[in-house]
Amino acid sequence: MGKKKDKEEKGKTTLGRKEYDRELEKLHGELVKLQRWVVKKGLKICIVFEGRDGAGKGGAIKAITERVSPRIFTVVALPAPTDREKTQLYTQRYIPHLPAGGEISIFDRSWYNRAGVERVMGFCTEEQSLKFLELIPSLEKTLIDSGIILIKYWLEVSPEEQAKRLNDRIDDPRKVWKLSEMDIKSYTRWDEYTRARDDMFVATDTPWAPWHVVHSDDKKRARLNIISHLLSCVDYKEIKEDPVELPERKIGKKYKEKDYPFKLIPEKF
Please tell me the distance from the alpha carbon of residue 99 to that of residue 149, in angstroms, as a whole number.
10
Domains of the chain: 17-232 (3.40.50.300)
pTM beyond 0.85: the answer is: yes
46 - beta bridge partners? 105, 150
Instruction: Indicate the pLDDT class of residue 160, thresholds 50, 70 and 90.
Output: very high
Q: Where are the alpha helices (DSSP H) in the chain?
A: 3-10, 17-41, 57-65, 83-86, 117-120, 126-145, 159-171, 181-187, 190-204, 219-232
- For 184-218, what is each residue's pLDDT tens digit? 888 899 999 999 999 999 999 999 999 999 999 99
CB atoms < 10 A from the CB of 79, how many?
6
Over residues 107-123, the pLDDT tens digits come to 999 999 999 999 999 99
**By the 8 A CB rule, do 55 and 164 touch?**
no
Q: What is the pLDDT of residues 97-155, one digit of tens each?
A: 999 999 999 999 999 999 999 999 999 999 999 999 999 999 999 999 999 999 999 99
What is the average pLDDT across 34-48?
Answer: 98
Mean predicted lDDT score pLDDT of the chain: 93
Higher-scoring residue by pLDDT: 183, 220:
220
